[in-house]
Chain A
Amino acid sequence: MQRKKLLILFTFLFLLTYYQTNAQHNSHDEKVQDNVHNIEQHESHGEALTLKEQIKADINHHLLDSHDFHIWQKVSFPLPIILWDNGLHFFSSSKFHHGESVAENNGNYYAISHKNGHIYKTDSSGVIHYNKKGFESNEKPLDLSITKNVVMIIITSLIIFLLFSGLARSYAKNGGIGKGPGRILEPIVLYIRDEIAIPNIGEKHYKKYMNYLLTIFFFIWFVNLFGLTPLGVNITGNIAITFSLAILTYLITTFTAKKDYWKHIFWMPGVPAPMKIILAPIELLGTFIKPFALMIRLYANMKAGHVVLMSIIGLMFLFKSWIGGPLSFGLAFGLMILELLVAALQAYIFTVLSALYFGSAAEEHEH
């Protein structure tokens, strides 16, 4: 009986979110249409280009981190801004009015660039100057703000913490049998231990790497899934975040490495001496390329997925006939399902490759 109630509740929630996303798209459509009409009145021939440009700007806006959490058309939360500019500046992002106006704090003026969403120091008029290459020439304060991405990372961490601490407590209470919503994670944890950690790192050393492997797997997976919700966050499609994850893998590999790991890098056993000299720099370079590839792979995969999805939704506005709607819906639907797979796959691959690198660091050879 309870299960049936839950099912009804979930169906209702699903329908509700579906209706909301649809409504969002519709209103968006109208907005674009309005703009198209406005432009048509001004100049009749440049219209397709400007519509394309608008879609491009929308996609760009979605890919960027932002200083306020935009949920609905006009509903958004301001987020705290923390700047270091000869002293700490702390104020709410509502002062920017969604990047439209200049914000004043302790006698300094700041404005948000429309190009990359970063905060620049300006004079009281709030004009950002661009140099010949199209880059902002204003002074840039050190920005430590709690942005949209940071908020989502905190929320994800909280969800993961609550799920797993609940699961851990239920083990202690029920005599080794898990209970509660965290229980669906148990087979995944076992899978990571039995199929990823033990075969790649080895029975002897796998335990000290398990907590890191589990953390990155669930973090990347959850964050990727959040990217597919209508909240429109793009966390793993931000190279700074994948860079931090890759740096963690690199540091752990380097600092837990045993004697044999370094021996295989600098003085490869079993090859002739001249080859050893050639191999050493290549192997050393390899240690940097491995985490670099990790970073690029995750970042590019997620970013490319978001760009393609947004472009397909943008097709709807470009077609301007009845065929555009179903076509774009079908493609976007198919791609969304693919993205669900990619979200899990990228988390899996990041974990497997990290485990492989840890394995090579912890290995002990007998020669």
Chain B
Amino acid sequence: MEGLNYVGAGLIVIGVGIGIGRIGGSAMDAIARQPEATGKIQTAMLIAAALIEGIGFAALFAA
């Protein structure tokens, strides 16, 4: 089955996109509710996004 790894790569990107999108959206909500906590929320958001991204890249290189 040649070319299935490309399908896998596509699935990985979809998964990572959903994950980072949800983190970004939630962070926006949180900032809108508590603008004074923007800095803390951004830091937490970046760390969470980086963790997902790391897994995503590891999977992409395996694919």
Contact = CB atoms under 8 A, between A and B. Distances in A.
Given A293-B54, A297-B54, A353 B61 contact: no
Contacts of A301: 53, 57
Nearest to B57: A300
A304 B57 CA distance: 9
A352 B51 CA distance: 12
Contacts of A195: 39, 43
Say what secondary structure dominates the interface of chain B.
helix
A353 B58 contact: no
A297 B46 CA distance: 13
B14 interface: no
Contact of B58 (A293, A348, A349): A293
**Interface range on chain A (Cβ under 8 Å from partner):** 10 to 19
Contacts of B50: 297, 349, 353
Contacts of B54: 293-294, 296-297, 300
A296 B61 contact: yes
Interface of B: 39, 43, 46-47, 50-51, 53-55, 57-58, 60-61
A326 to B, nearest CB: 27
A293 B52 CA distance: 10
A352 B49 CA distance: 13
A349 B61 contact: no
A231 interface: no
Nearest to A349: B50
A353 B61 CA distance: 22
A353 B57 contact: no
Contacts of B58: 293, 296, 300
A297 B57 contact: yes
A352 B57 contact: no
Interface string A320-358: 000000000000000000000000010011001100100
Contacts of A345: 46
Could you say which of A195, A297, A352, A353 has the most chain B C-beta atoms within 10 Å of its C-beta? A297
B29 to A, nearest CB: 22
B57 A349 contact: no
